[in-house]
Amino acid sequence: TQKTNLRIALVTGASSGFGRAICTRLIADGYVVIAAARRIDRLQQLQDELGSNLYPLELDVRDLDSVARIKEIIPEHLSDIDLLINNAGLALGIDPAQKASLNDWLTMIETNVIGLTCMTHAILPGMVKKQSGHIINIGSIAGKYPYPGGNVYGATKAYVAQFSLNLRADLAGTCVRVSDVQPGLCGGTEFSAVRFHGDSEKANALYANVEPILPADIAETVAWVAALPKHVNINTIELMPTAQSFSALQITRN
Ligand code: NDP
Ligand code: 8X3
């Protein structure tokens, strides 16, 4: 196949949840997808399901040497990335800041902030060089609306929001697009099991009697953002389940 005919996407966090659904959708849309995550066995299963247009890539986005060398690690014919989906990320813990684990905080920063930043640093120059490309970051409503226990997780997603907008400022005139997709409560992923350190009762309770957004909804959104004509850039898109909305600010009374 001629390299110029391929549309190549790189999706981080492809072994589960949104990432997996995004890979499935992008393959259906005709992309060749490099699916990256730590759990390579999951990615190989995904390749069994989706076929040879999916290339499994074992990658920890916190491994900054590997991330910096990503273009060398990816097979040469796939190294010209058109679409980067920075999706790998996690929340750890819901305790108030004064009770939170410092390790949890650092892992979130290393993954959601540093990993995403270094992936962007590695891939962006190639896009600018060819005057074409799109980076879609998976942010969160937690980056905009504070909530108890959101402390560092929300702050990492606020970083994603501002980094995305600042990239757009720097990329003026390059034709490279940047978008931040900010979902609210989503079910059908491992997000809450990870957040609650495997406490599935707590994780399931969050989704009790509510219809959350599902990974396919996020995949649909990402596919739409990517498929818009090249003269259209979605800067930020925020989506929530209809069943989720806003509460009043809290007041501590004497
Ligand atoms: P999942 O836990 O189902 O998926 C997270 C993915 O990230 C997994 O594939 C995991 O793969 C990967 N990942 C985690 N750490 C690393 C790492 N160090 N290096 C590479 N990959 C990593 O959660 P979701 O699909 O729900 O979450 C995806 C993104 O969406 C995250 O950024 C999350 O913050 C965001 N989000 C989620 C919402 C929700 O309610 N579910 C709402 C808003 C945003 P592996 O463990 O194999 O490495
Ligand atoms: C995930 C959404 O509200 O659980 O980013 O933080 S929330």
Give distance in angstroms: CA of 132 to centre of ligand 1. 27
| Residue ranges of domains in the chain | 3-239
**pTM attached to this predicted model:** 0.98
ipTM: 0.99
Instruction: Verify whether ligand 1 is closer than 6 Å to residue 61 (CB atom).
Output: yes
Beta-bridged to residue 130, according to DSSP, are none
Give distance in angstroms: CA of 1 to centre of ligand 1. 32
- What span, in angstroms and rounded, lies between the C-alpha atoms of 14 and 43? 7
Is 145 assigned a catalytic role? no
The C-alpha angle with vertex 85 and arms to 165 and 171, in degrees rounded to 5, equals 35
- What span, in angstroms and rounded, lies between the C-alpha atoms of 55 and 38? 14
Fold of the domain spanning 3-239: Rossmann fold (3.40.50)
Query: What is the residue-level pLDDT of the chain in tens, covering all 254 positions?
Result: 445 679 999 999 999 999 999 999 999 999 999 999 999 999 999 999 999 999 999 999 999 999 999 999 999 999 999 999 999 999 999 999 999 999 999 999 999 999 999 999 999 999 999 999 999 999 999 999 999 999 999 999 999 999 999 999 999 999 999 999 999 999 999 999 999 999 989 999 999 999 999 999 999 999 999 999 999 999 999 999 999 999 999 999 99
